[in-house]
Amino acid sequence: MSILYVLIPLGLVLLAAAVAAFFWAVGSGQFDDMDTPAWRVVMDDDRTPPARKQEDDDER
């Protein structure tokens, strides 16, 4: 059972790291909008090849 003396503190360290990561994520605004990102994955941006960009710019 003495392995717990190592594992529990180790768990706490990982926990602290996870909390720190979450704080960073919240601070950088990743939790401000909970609706849009869920949809982003469904929308295929790759329908617009980079070549189109040139064309459009020329038209302008």
Partner 1 sequence: MAESRACFHCGLPVPAGLDLSARIDGEDRPMCCHGCKAVAELIGASGFDAYYRFRDAPPGDAPAPPPGDDADWRGFDDPETLPLFAATRTDGGREAVLHVEGLYCSACSWLLENVLRRLPGVTEITVNTASSRLHVVWQPEETRFSAILGTIERLGYRPHPQSLTEAYSPRHQERRQALKRLLVAGVGMMQVMMFAVALYAGAFQGIDPEMRRFLVWVSALVTTPVVFYSGRPFFQSAWRGLICGRPGMDLPVSIAVGGAYAASLYAAVSGHGEVYFDSATMFVFFLSLGRFLEMSARHGATERSAAIGQLLPDTVRRIADERSDGEEIIAVARLRAGDRFALRPGERVPADARILRGRASLDESLITGESEPVSRGPGDEVTAGSINLDGALTLSAERVGQDTMLAAISRLLERAQAERPAVAVLADRVASWFVVGVLVLAASTGAVWWWIEPGAAFPAALAVLVVTCPCALSLATPAALAAANTALADRGILITRSRALQGLAEFDRIVFDKTGTLTRGRPELERIVPLAEGADAERCLAIAARLESGSEHALARAFPRRGDTPADLRPVPGRGIEGSVDGVLYRIGSAEFVGAAARAAAEPLETGPASTLVFLGDGERRVLAAFELRDSLRDDAAAVVATLREAGIATAIASGDRSRTVDDIAGRLGIDDARGDLGPEDKLAWVRELQAAGEKVALVGDGINDAPVLAGADVSAAMGAGTTLAQSSADAVLLGDSLAPLLTAVELSRRTRRIIRQNISWAIGYNVLAVPLAASGMLAPWMAAIGMSASSLLVVLNALRLRRRGDAARPGREPAGAPAAPAALEASP
Per-residue three-class SS string for the chain: CCCHHHHHHHHHHHHHHHHHHHHHHHHCCCCCCCCHHHHHCCCCHHHCCHHHHHHHHHHC
Give the alpha-carbon dihedral of 16, 17, 21, 27, to 10 degrees.
40
Site for partner 1 contains 21 (CB under 8 A): no
Size of the site for partner 1 (CB under 8 A): 34
Site for partner 1 contains 40 (CB under 8 A): yes
Site for partner 1 contains 36 (CB under 8 A): yes
- Work out which of 4, 7, 10, 58 binds partner 1, going by CB under 8 A: 4
Q: Given the rule CB under 8 A, which residues bind partner 1?
A: 1, 4-5, 8-9, 11-12, 15, 18-19, 22-23, 26-27, 29, 31-36, 38-40, 42-45, 47-48, 52-53, 56-57
